[in-house]
């Protein structure tokens, strides 16, 4: 009888520990990206403060956008990050189709078919084959 009670207590203790771990992960997790201040009418993932510098980088051409992405990649989330990478593909593809193909191959590795930028990706992927 002692063995049965011990096993039941161990199972209950394990269940409580896992429940607490899940609760702690959920309560300490980053807030959802919907609560971040993103520009209206654009895909979420880029803070409003970076919108003007992104526009300036696009006007500087593919080199400017590549440099900007290198500096700010850690501050941007998907799907907007992938959208900006696709903007780079369009800019770079004019002078260097091989660079555009390289970036498209990298995007293909992490892009899910359900992403809002997937249709644009498939169009560019077909164009640079």
How would DSSP label each residue in 61-118? Answer: -HHHHHHHHHHHGGG--TTHHHHHHHHHHHHHHTT-HHHHHHHHHHHHTT--TTSTTH
Q: Do residues 73 and 62 make contact, with C-beta atoms less than 8 angstroms apart?
A: no
The residue ranges of every structural domain in the chain are 1-30, 38-127
Question: Does the structure show a pLDDT above 60 at 46?
Answer: yes
User: Per-residue pLDDT tens for 53-78?
Assistant: 999 999 999 999 999 999 999 888 88
User: Per-residue pLDDT tens for 19-39?
Assistant: 888 887 777 665 554 445 666
Question: What's the pTM value of the predicted model, to 2 decimals?
Answer: 0.67
């Amino acid at each position: 009888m002692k063995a049965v009670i011990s096993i039941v207590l161990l199972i209950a203790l394990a269940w409580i520990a896992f429940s607490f771990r899940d609760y702690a992960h959920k309560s300490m997790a980053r807030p959802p990206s919907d609560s971040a201040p993103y520009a209206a009418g654009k895909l979420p993932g880029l803070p409003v403060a970076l919108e003007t510098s992104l526009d300036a980088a696009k006007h500087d051409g593919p080199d400017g956008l590549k440099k900007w992405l290198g500096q700010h990649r850690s501050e941007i989330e998907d799907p907007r990050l992938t959208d900006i990478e696709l903007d780079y593909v369009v800019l770079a593809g004019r002078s260097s189709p091989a660079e555009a193909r390289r970036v498209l191959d990298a995007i293909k590795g992490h892009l899910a078919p359900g992403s809002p930028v997937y249709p644009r990706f498939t169009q560019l992927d077909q164009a640079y084959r």
